Amino acid sequence: PYPVYEMLRKEEPVFRLMFPHGEFGWIITRYEDAVQILKDPRFSKDMVRRYGADNQSIFSNNMLFSDPPDHKRLRGLVQKAFTPKLVADMRSHIQDIADELLDNLPSQEKMNLIDDFAFPLPIIVISEILGVPLEDRDKFRIWSNTIIDASIAESAELFEQHAREFTDYLTAWFAKVRQDPGTDLISQLVIAEESGQQLTEQELLGVVSLLIIAGHETTVNLIGNGILALLEHPEQRELLINQPELIHNAIEEMLRYNGPVEFSTSRWALEDIEFRGERIAQGDLVIVALDSANRDEQQFKDADIFDITREKSSHLAFGKGIHLCLGAPLARLEGEIAVSTLLNRFPNIQLQADVNELEWRPGMNVRGVKEIPVQLK
Ligand code: HEM
């Protein structure tokens, strides 16, 4: 998509188009504009207000789709589980999970990097935080995939069906937890719900499904896209192997160069807004092309070059403003551990396919490859 973004940044940085379902919207591609829009309170994320309470899915009643003050309340309920300090304490456990996944590969010669490593790692971690059964992770994956790729029109029915199955599953799970709460995050939310009326049943569903979906659809592509970038740039890989302390920088560059979330979720204008010579009408949707902003030459020198020594990067892969990714510290740590462990154990890892033939996932939101076959030794 990058050449298209480059053209849009130059010629139509605020680009109007018709979205699925016949709504008008705008795509923002420049870095400077992206920051401005993501921080502007005249753009709402409240989907209940926009579409009405009867037109909501499992995925609507959560912090990502609400404005202050609900946003702050909903984010506050789970924030304490994702502070940098608490996340840092998970390091050795996440390391054990990464080692175990690599110990138990079906073959020590080759693997599919996505299914065998990049996918299970973040899922195991988020399932443990939430306290949901790990053995149901294949179901979570199917449900998350459909919900995230709902922008593809022909999946509308499937979306309904999977959203219903996901809702029923979680509702039954909450009932079980209410009987016998533990120390996991869902137990804490259930206790908060019962004691202080701080969140409704819909919101409980919304927040938990958001965390499960975020845990499934994002970090997997940080690991996948990141390793892919290293495999495509052998000199960068050598550099990282020789200077492992570059890993923090390398992860930031992976997030910038091929960010896992291609577009922000949509916002809508609460009033008519003049923006860079265009008139964004009240009610119009606006989407920020994060992966375009992250390649903007006005912000990043040699933006199309993958350089793990790049100085502090200020990329927008985790968004900006009040909806800045809650899971960023966790995602960074998972990414670091995954990439370092893989390179440590298999420094000669090679791609076993033509990079141009790899199949990218459909849908507008996440950017990631379906399968990455690699030779390990
Ligand atoms: C929000 C990216 C991993 C939980 C966001 C947003 C982005 C993003 C761009 C803002 C979207 C918008 O403003 O429209 C990423 C990337 C990840 C990642 C690139 C991995 C590399 C995670 C993980 C979790 C998570 C592992 C869960 C633990 C959330 C939540 C929000 C969010 C709860 C909503 C925050 C709010 O509305 O206040 N993420 N995410 N993310 N992310 Fe992540």
Give tens-digit pLDDT for 221-232. Answer: 999 999 999 999
Ligand 1: centre distance to CA 331 (Å): 9
Q: In whole numbers, what is the pLDDT of the chain averaged over residues?
A: 90
Q: Looking at residues 325-344, what average pLDDT do you find?
A: 96
User: Using a 6 Å cutoff on CB, does residue 323 contact ligand 1?
Assistant: yes
User: Using a 6 Å cutoff on CB, does residue 226 contact ligand 1?
Assistant: no
Ligand 1: centre distance to CA 318 (Å): 6
pLDDT level of residue 46 (50, 70, 90 thresholds):
very high
**Residue type for position 169:** Y
Q: Has the ipTM of the complex gone over 0.90?
A: yes
Report which protein residue has its CA nearest ligand 1's atom 28.
327
Residue 121 has pLDDT above 50, yes or no: yes
What is the structure's pLDDT at 153? 42
Q: Looking at residues 196-210, what average pLDDT do you find?
A: 83
Ligand 1: centre distance to CA 5 (Å): 22
Which residue reads 């204008």 in tokens?
269
Report which protein residue has its CA nearest ligand 1's atom 36.
323
User: Using a 6 Å cutoff on CB, does residue 101 contact ligand 1?
Assistant: no
Render pLDDT for 296-325 as a digit per residue (tens, 0 to 9). 999 999 999 999 999 877 999 999 999 999
CATH of 2-375, one of 2.130.10.30, 1.10.760.10, 1.10.630.10, 3.50.30.30: 1.10.630.10
The CB-based long-range contact list for 347-352 (8 Å cut-off, 24+ gap) reads 347/241, 348/376, 348/377, 349/227, 349/231, 349/374, 349/375, 349/376, 350/231, 350/374, 350/375, 351/228, 351/231, 351/232, 351/375, 352/110
What is the structure's pLDDT at 364? 67
What is the structure's pLDDT at 310? 94
User: Using a 6 Å cutoff on CB, does residue 364 contact ligand 1?
Assistant: no
User: Using a 6 Å cutoff on CB, does residue 320 contact ligand 1?
Assistant: no
**pTM attached to this predicted model:** 0.94
Q: Dihedral through CA 76, CA 81, CA 87, CA 93, nearest 10?
A: -170
Angle at 12 between CA 10 and CA 18, to 5 degrees: 150
Render pLDDT for 133-159 as a digit per residue (tens, 0 to 9). 989 988 888 888 887 776 554 567 878
pLDDT level of residue 81 (50, 70, 90 thresholds):
confident
User: Using a 6 Å cutoff on CB, does residue 209 contact ligand 1?
Assistant: no
User: Using a 6 Å cutoff on CB, does residue 325 contact ligand 1?
Assistant: yes
Which residue reads 């990714």 in tokens?
325
pLDDT level of residue 27 (50, 70, 90 thresholds):
very high
Quick one: which atom of ligand 1 is closest to the CA of 324?
10
**C-alpha–C-alpha distance, residues 155 and 145, integer Å:** 11
Render pLDDT for 234-252 as a digit per residue (tens, 0 to 9). 999 999 999 999 999 999 9
User: Using a 6 Å cutoff on CB, does residue 210 contact ligand 1?
Assistant: yes
**C-alpha–C-alpha distance, residues 101 and 332, integer Å:** 19
Q: What percentage of residues in the chain have a pLDDT greater than 70?
A: 96
Angle at 266 between CA 262 and CA 268, to 5 degrees: 150
**C-alpha–C-alpha distance, residues 343 and 152, integer Å:** 36
Report which protein residue has its CA nearest ligand 1's atom 18.
218
Report which protein residue has its CA nearest ligand 1's atom 21.
219
Q: Mind giving me the DSSP string for 342-353?
A: HHHH-TT-EE-S
* Torsion sign (Cα): 61, 62, 67, 69: positive
